[in-house]
Amino acid sequence: MASFSYLMSVLVLCVIIGYANAQLELNFYAKSCPKAEKIIKDFVEQQVPKAPNTAAAILRMHFHDCFVRGCDGSVLLNFTSTNGNQTEKLANPNLTLRGFSFIDAVKRLVEAECPGVVSCADIIALVARDAVVATGGPFWNVPTGRRDGTISNVSEANADIPAPTSNFTRLQQSFAKKGLDLNDLVLLSGAHTIGVSRCSSFSERLYNFTGVLGTQDPSLDSEYADNLKSRKCRSINDNTTIVEMDPGSFKTFDLSYFKLLLKRRGLFQSDAALTTRTSTKSFIEQLVDGPLKEFFDEFGKSMEKMGRVEVKTGSAGEIRKHCAFVNN
């Protein structure tokens, strides 16, 4: 009996140790690839000033990655005849994703230093943070140790990524499914303070809101709507024109996006939805009335929380050699 008790104690200890080792941690690569995070940071700081929109693009990629099968780099996978299904890249929300070549460039640098060590999922998370910081935005901790997924499915991406046409209920359900609350919803939507969008993501608000051509979303400020129709999206069929998500401040990580929401000037229906509930609207007002540092701090906490969603660690998944393809 004593030997059995000892064996059980050892098994429990092994489970505990295995569980602990399977968690994300700061400086996960300190021993296996000590220069990895500096290599990534240096490349981002060198390249982002040349293309400031990179920060918004990679931030969006990180979000879309985490909302489908967790933060596992599955958004990066290309379709091949061997995987037999269309990947997340081909999902409607991902057709306008940018930044894949940027991630590939970072991966090549890291692979040259430490082959087969640093995951593509971690690279997305680190680049998103470093790119935002490089544009003057907030810093947040990025614990690492994510492993790359081997499955990427177009239908899952279409189902799980909140669309810009989402109402409040849909947004709340999508975020809750990933363990994110209403404050996280508001804070992560605050990423719309930087970047741009195509007219096709919101043109129905201007021209076809009720399904009848010529109807406009009454929740959208009429002056702002008129400006969009006369100067930007002159037709419901415009799929190419680029519009700033935070007009006049789209390159600056600030509180302007939230101020516009309170003026009914959020670009997307999902933006406007944030002010349709007392709880989220009050939180937006609190952020607007507070110091910028409060938004930065809270945004960082929500980003770190999102970065832990359904991660693969330990022996799950793999470390891809090339981010667009699973290993042979």
Look up 64 and say whether it is catalytic. yes
Catalytic residue among 62, 64, 192, 322: 64
The amino acid at 54: T
Compute CA 245 distance to the chain's CA centroid, rounded to the nearest angstrom. 16
Q: How far is CA 69 from CA 17, 91, 98, 116, 175, in A?
A: 25, 14, 20, 22, 13
> Structure tokens of 234?
């002159």
> Structure tokens of 199?
């007219």
- Angle of helix 292-306 versus helix 278-289 axis, rounded to 10: 130
* Residues forming the active site: 64
